[in-house]
Amino acid sequence: MITRGDLAPGAILVIAFGALAWSATTLRYGGGFEPGPGFAPVWLGVAGVIASAALLLLARRAPPGEPGDRRGDLRVGLAALGIAGVALAAPVVGLVLAIAAYLLFLTLAIERLSPPVALLSSGGAALIVYLVFERFLNVPFPKGPLGF
């Protein structure tokens, strides 16, 4: 369903697809009868701009959408930042330890589980990751000072 809440995403999409079409003009469009590398991106950009503009127009006349859930978005933002933390910390402390620390943060700070349950579930999940990927599949995870 289209609502007035789609105005901002519609505008962002028009800009994004416009940028795609514009940057695709730097690629070779084609020669003779043979379409080149820029052919598809140019037309996808144009199609995207048209479809997003239609969304914008429809959203202007649509009923207002439901109000956003800022607390929910905040929890998701923290969870996403935590994953970024895993990607940054893994080369230093090791992937398994980084995942364990992240899951503890998620269950304890975001989901507010009791400390024993949070420790058990994050530690259990990290142990499964270690056993399945590192021991069973021999995936060479980045290792930290503790050796895993």
Partner 1 sequence: MDVLGQLALGFSIAVTPQNLLFAFAGALIGTMVGILPGIGPAAGIALLLPVTFGLPPVSSLIMLAGIYYGSMYGGTLTSVLINTPGESASVATTFDGYRMALQGRAGAALGIAAIGSFLAGTLGVIALMLAAPPLADLAVMFGPPEYFALAALGLLTIAGLGGGSALKALISAIAGLALATVGSDPLLGSQRFTFGVFELYDGLEFLPVAVGLFGIAEVFVNLAERVRLAPIRASFSGLIPSWADWVASRGAMLRGGIVGFAIGVLPGAGATIASFVSYGLERRISKHPERFGKGAIEGVAAPESANNAATAGAMVPLLALGIPGSATTAVLLAAFILYGLRPGPLLLTEHPEIFWGLIASMYVGNVMLLFLNLPAAPLFASLLRLPYSVIAAGILGISLAGAYSLNNSIFDIWVALAFGVLGYAMKRLGFPAAPLILALVLGPLLEMSLRQSLTISHGSLAIFATRPASAVLLLIGLLGLTGPALWRLLRRPNRKGVTP
Rounded to 10 deg, the angle between the 7-24 and 39-61 helix axes is: 160
Closest CB 44 distance from partner 1, rounded Å: 5
Beta pairing partners, 94: 143
106 neighbors 121 (Cβ within 8 angstroms): no
Q: Is 143 in the site for partner 1 (CB under 8 A)?
A: no
Radius of gyration, alpha carbons of the chain: 23
Q: Which residue has the tokens 């109000």?
A: 67
Task: Name which position in 22, 60, 84, 115 contacts partner 1 (CB under 8 A).
Answer: 84
Q: Is 94 in the site for partner 1 (CB under 8 A)?
A: no
41 neighbors 24 (Cβ within 8 angstroms): yes
Task: Name which position in 4, 15, 60, 80 contacts partner 1 (CB under 8 A).
Answer: 80
The type of residue at 22 is W
Query: In the chain, what is the greatest distance between 2 CA atoms, to the nearest angstrom?
Result: 69
Q: Is 90 in the site for partner 1 (CB under 8 A)?
A: yes
Residues at the contact surface with partner 1, assessed by CB under 8 A? 1-2, 5-6, 9, 13, 17, 20, 23-24, 27-28, 33-37, 39-41, 44-45, 47-48, 51-52, 54-55, 58, 68-69, 72-73, 75-76, 79-80, 83-84, 86-87, 90-91, 95, 99, 102-103, 106-107, 110-111, 113, 117-118, 121-122, 124-126, 128-129, 132-133, 137, 139-142
